[in-house]
Amino acid sequence: METQVIIVGAGPVGLTLAIDLGRRGIDCVLIEQKAAPQFLPKMERCNARTMEIFRRLGLADRIRAAGMPEDIPMDIQIIRSMAEPPILRLPYPSVAEARVRTRQRNDGGLPLEPYQLISQYTLEPLLLEEAERLPTVRVMRNTTFLDFTEHSTGVSATVTDAGGMRSTLKACYLVGCDGGSSRVRKQLGIRLQGEGDIARLRQGLFYCEQLYDRLPMGKGPGRGRHYLVAGGPPTFMIMQDSTRHWTVHSAVESDAEMLNMFERIVGAPLPYEMLYCAEWRQNLLLAERYGKGRVFLAGDAVHLVIPTGGLGMNTGVGDAADLAWKLAATLEGWGGPELLASYEAERRQIGERVVGASRYASLGYRAWLAEVRPEIGDDTPAGDSARAHLAEIADVEQRKSNEMIGAELGYRYVDSPIIANVPGGPQHDLRVYQPTSWPGARLPHMWLTDGSAIQDRLRPDRYTLLDVSGKHDPTPLARAFAALDAPLDVLVAPDPALHGIYERDLILVRPDMHVAWRGDRLPEAAKDLAALVTGRRGGMD
């Protein structure tokens, strides 16, 4: 079989990469060991940046329809049980409320798409269906990747089907999206560095038909998405997208203890069923490299983080979005040699930041957990004092896990070989997002005067020169891109509101919505800028 890209692993990251490549007309083969997606919870939230990426793939509306209804509260609550008053409630807007806020503001500070709660067992089949309907994508289920061989013009991968029959696939490139124990990464000899096996918890998936409808139960907490338990082993419960399925994570030793823990959290005799239970380990690990030669890695194959903060799968989707357009540009012939080299330069620094952000969020959770006093469950003045003390601490520390908008939207590629880098730049802040068009940053969402979103005017298969002043002649840059056969759109949108946020007359935006260059006039050597941002800084091939 001949194809252009082989992708190993059909989780959300591998599927996103396949869909993105397939929509760009790139032939790819997706190898997946399982016959079908498993009914396992794993991730439960697509963050705002991920939803913006899915919007560009035409998937956002379908994902929202399949996920949690948009009017469900997103509150985080610290509890003793669901039958008792919450110790602390942190309110967060529903998707519907977040949409209203976004429509009412035009200061670049909010994402175009708010987050979406959707369980992996819902998202993965949806993405798989989208991938399989693309004529450029072939999904090989029940197929095990064994090894690969790289040669001067491509990569050959050996696979085996369910019957044990071996075959060889040939492609120009191979991408390992095959998880934390990645066979592709191991064959490359790339190690994971950092803190492994930090802690062990059990995860149980429960079905409880009545629980959501019964909330609040008596004086218990109202509806929300996360319930963190104060007292006993570290434990938290998450509502899944059906509102009938719940996951419990707890540092207990057995499945039987997980049953007891669920009953303790609920605090009322409701019928339920435990569908799944297994141990998992917390890790904060980052790969030394993101690939080698014609072989690349993405997702959990290169970064393993504690789920606190919700950055794991979402960062993997960002990996896929970065790599897809660069692979397509290279295969189409207009991407220079530094384009694919920039994948590691850009995404590994984000992986490093995400590992740090996950550590920060986890330490916040542990900080308030350490303040739980033995008398916290007592109906006494001492119990009241213990609960008030914990609420005061957790009101600061728990927010470190749930308010990560800076990490989600504010990451910026520094010292990239395909960005017109400028020394300095805004501070990286995990908790706060400050809109900026500084080179390397995601272009902030803004509404145009006709009511449309600027992101929707930036086509994902080309660069866009955005002129928010209407004063400049784009011809020199357009000719420079044309000489490289590289696609460039010009969008003239004179608007003081845009200029106030973007700070320059001209913004050159890449296909992935990151800023490649900005200025108040085009550089005299427009061809040098075109060569730089398309990976041809060293000259034409």
CB half-sphere exposure, 249, CA atoms < 13 A: 19
- Condensed to tens digits (0 to 9), the pLDDT of residues 481-515 reads 999 999 999 999 999 999 999 999 999 999 999 99
Tell how strand 273-287 and strand 303-304 pair up.
Answer: antiparallel
- Tell me the per-residue pLDDT of 177-226, one tens digit each, with 9 for 90 and over: 999 999 999 999 999 999 999 999 999 999 999 999 999 988 889 999 99
For 324-343, give one letter per residue: b (16+ CB within 10 A) or e.
bbbbbbbbeebbbebbbbbb
Q: At 268, which helix (H) or strand (E)?
A: none
Q: What tokens does 398 get?
A: 């728990």
Residues near 500 by Cβ (< 8 Å), separated by ≥ 6?
none
CA distance linking residue 124 with residue 409, whole number of Å: 23
Evaluate whether 131 touches 30 at the Cβ level (below 8 Å).
yes
Is CATH 3.50.50.60 correct for 5-69+114-193+285-359? yes
pLDDT of res. 508? 98
Q: What is the per-residue pLDDT across 251-287, written as a single tens digit (0 to 9) for each?
A: 999 999 999 999 999 999 999 999 999 999 999 999 9
pLDDT of residue 538: 58
Structure tokens at 256: 């039987």
Compute the distance between CA of residue 273 and CA of residue 65 in angstroms, rounded to an integer.
Answer: 26
Residue 40: band (very low, low, confident or very high) from pLDDT cuts 50, 70, 90: confident
DSSP string, 199-230: EEEEEEEEE-SSHHHH-S-TTS--S-SEEEEP
For residue 218, the model assigns a pLDDT of 84
How far the first Cα of the chain sits from its last, in Å, is: 28
Give the pLDDT score at 303.
98
Q: Taking residues 228-242, what's their average pLDDT?
A: 96
**CB 287 within 8 Å of CB 302:** yes
Residue 413 contacts residue 419 (beta carbons within 8 Å)? yes
Helix (H/G/I), strand (E/B), else coil: 38? coil
Q: What pTM was estimated for this model as a whole?
A: 0.97
Q: Taking Cα atoms as reference points, which of 352, 354, 364 lies closest to residue 400?
A: 364
Across the beta sheet with 137-140, what order do the strands follow?
137-140, 28-31, 5-8, 173-176, 295-297, 291-292
Helices 312-332 and 337-369 sit at what angle, rounded to 10 degrees?
180
pLDDT(291) > 50:
yes
Q: Nearest CA to 466 among 440, 414, 503?
A: 503
Tokens of 10: 């059909």
pLDDT confidence bin for 74, thresholds 50/70/90: very high
CA 194 from centre of chain: 21
- Report the candidate in 251, 255, 221, 256 with the shortest Cα–Cα distance to residue 239: 221
In order, the DSSP letters of 473-523 are: --HHHHHHHHHTT--EEEEE---HHHHHHH-SSEEEE-TTSBEEEEESS--
The whole-chain average pLDDT of the chain stands at 96
**Residue 539: per-residue pLDDT:** 41
Q: In this model, does residue 169 exceed pLDDT 70?
A: yes
Maximum CA extent, the chain: 78
Q: How many CB atoms lie within 10 A of CB 524?
A: 8
Residues of the chain with CATH 3.50.50.60: 5-69+114-193+285-359
- Show the tokens assigned to 43: 């991730």
Residue 309: the pLDDT is 85
Per-residue pLDDT tens for 389-403? 999 999 999 999 999
CATH of 412-533, one of 3.30.1520.10, 3.40.30.120, 3.30.2290.10, 3.10.105.10: 3.40.30.120
Taking alpha carbons only, the member of 362, 399, 341, 373 closest to residue 535 is 341
What is the location of CATH 3.40.30.120 in the chain? 412-533
**Burial bucket for residue 488 (CB in 10 Å: 0-12, 13-18, 19+):** buried
Q: Write down the pLDDT at residue 107.
A: 97
Separation of alpha carbons 209 and 230, rounded Å: 25
* Whole-number pLDDT of residue 80: 96
Distance of alpha carbon 123 from alpha carbon 317, whole angstroms: 13
Which pair of structure tokens corresponds to residue 54?
Answer: 């899915």
Asked whether the predicted pLDDT for residue 351 surpasses 60, the reply is yes
